[in-house]
Amino acid sequence: MSDIIRLLPDQVANQIAAGEVVHRPAAVVKELMENAIDAGAGHVQLVIKEAGKTLIQLMDDGCGMTETDARMSFERHATSKILKAEDIFAIHTKGFRGEALASIAAVAQVDLKTRREEEEIGTHIRIEGGKHVSQEYCSSSVGTQVEVKNLFFNIPARRNFLKSNNVELRHIIDEFERVALAHSDVHFTFTNNGSEIFNLPPASLRQRIVNVFGNRFNEKLVPINEETPLVKISGFIGKPEFSKKTRGEQFFFANNRYIRNGYLHKAVLKAFEGLISEGYHPSYFMFMEIDPARIDVNIHPTKTEIKFDDDRAIHSIIRTSVKHALGQYNIAPSLDFESNVDFEVYFTLEV
């Protein structure tokens, strides 16, 4: 019998790989926003049409790319962020797998324009379904602009699989919020079908939370701060009396990367035990700073799940720090919480 195994052409391999990273428009938004952050952008503008189904455009004022890098950026396993596998354990960037742009370009029509500060002229690359269409010089401001059009135009089965615009838009907003919360020093704007959904100027974390979720959030937040040799915890937790029946705003960030972690979520719930009624959910915006050598961010293609080498210790540190924050808020409310009745009681007792 003759041999039957063949190497897949790059285009096919990229399309298959795209299945892991690019499930829906929101995944494209996440990858493009993360690239903008990694490029050191101070201003990130997101424009979408029809919940990202026809257009996702991301503009940043980051470092931009040379002509060669712009071309290289669409190759699979092409990255400027790591050189060797161990580098993942010292990672300070969002990306490192070098597959996002290749995957996106395999399943959409992509236009990328980019310019570095030291160059006078920019590069414009067009790729459709993984095929290079054109590359030319263009005028461009410093930074990078990526337009992703007609996602899954070449995979009708996937396109049909997309949910209604409302659902897809909700997913995009979720991803946008996660990156915007993790980088409150960056200016983000977001427009859908010509109407502005967010305009978030650089701000403190508290102000960013308020700008994203509304003014009423200001009085709900209690700061959390705990420093241990293993992990530094900061951010805010919601006051117990503002817990909600629906799973509210619950965010964990590890080294400014949004992560999901059921085990650590339970640590927060444990600390709230007895303070909120059955069936109610607390909000939290919890930032963990940890030595990248102590986590593995490469256990999931989209990196929203990571592995901690000492998650039991982190569990107990989180529980203690939430309790601590809740205790401080009850005993010594800061002037931030002037409107709280407890404050008056405390104040009268003291004088």
List of residues contacting Mg ion (CB under 5 A): 35, 95, 100
CA distance 131 to 22: 18
In angstroms, give the least distance from the CB of 99 to Mg ion: 8
Q: Which residue has the tokens 């650089």?
A: 202
> Are the C-beta atoms of 105 and 74 separated by less than 8 Å?
yes
Residue 60 contact among Mg ion, ligand ADP, none, beta carbon within 5 to 8 Å by kind: ligand ADP
Closest by Cα among 223, 172, 257, 196 to 336: 223
In angstroms, give the least distance from the CB of 34 to Mg ion: 5
Residue 80 contact among ligand ADP, Mg ion, none, beta carbon within 5 to 8 Å by kind: ligand ADP
- Of the pair 35, 283, the CB lying nearest Mg ion is at 35
CA distance 238 to 284: 6
Which DSSP category does 54 fall into? S
Out of 42, 98, 240, 248, the residue judged to bind ligand ADP by CB under 6 A: 98
In angstroms, give the least distance from the CB of 72 to ligand ADP: 7
Residue 96 in contact with ligand ADP, rule: CB under 6 A = yes
Residue 78 in contact with ligand ADP, rule: CB under 6 A = yes
Residue 113 in contact with ligand ADP, rule: CB under 6 A = no
In single-letter form, the type of residue at position 73 comes to S
Enumerate residues 6+ apart whose C-beta is below 8 A from 211. 198, 200, 201, 203
- Of the pair 35, 154, the CB lying nearest ligand ADP is at 35
Q: How far is the CA of 341 from the CAs of 38, 328, 345, 349, in angstroms?
A: 44, 15, 7, 13
Side-by-side strand order, sheet with 231-238: 221-227, 231-238, 284-290, 250-254, 257-259
CA distance 67 to 72: 9
CA distance 245 to 241: 12
Residue 81 contact among ligand ADP, Mg ion, none, beta carbon within 5 to 8 Å by kind: ligand ADP
In angstroms, give the least distance from the CB of 124 to ligand ADP: 14
Closest by Cα among 183, 219, 209, 246 to 38: 183
- Of the pair 91, 221, the CB lying nearest Mg ion is at 91
CA distance 184 to 207: 8
Q: Give the largest CA-CA distance in the chain.
A: 95
In angstroms, give the least distance from the CB of 110 to Mg ion: 14
Out of 27, 28, 91, 95, the residue judged to bind ligand ADP by CB under 6 A: 95
Out of 47, 57, 60, 147, the residue judged to bind ligand ADP by CB under 6 A: 60
Out of 45, 57, 144, 211, the residue judged to bind ligand ADP by CB under 6 A: 144
In the window 31-50, what residues touch ligand ADP (CB under 6 A)? 31, 35-36, 39
Give me the phi and psi of 80, to 5 degrees please: -100, 5
In angstroms, give the least distance from the CB of 291 to ligand ADP: 21
> Are the C-beta atoms of 14 and 130 separated by less than 8 Å?
yes
Residue 244 contact among Mg ion, ligand ADP, none, beta carbon within 5 to 8 Å by kind: none
In angstroms, give the least distance from the CB of 27 to ligand ADP: 12
Residue 203 contact among Mg ion, ligand ADP, none, beta carbon within 5 to 8 Å by kind: none
CA distance 103 to 108: 9
- Of the pair 100, 224, the CB lying nearest Mg ion is at 100
Residues found near ligand ADP in the complex (CB under 6 A):
31, 35-36, 39, 60, 62-65, 73, 78-81, 95-102, 144
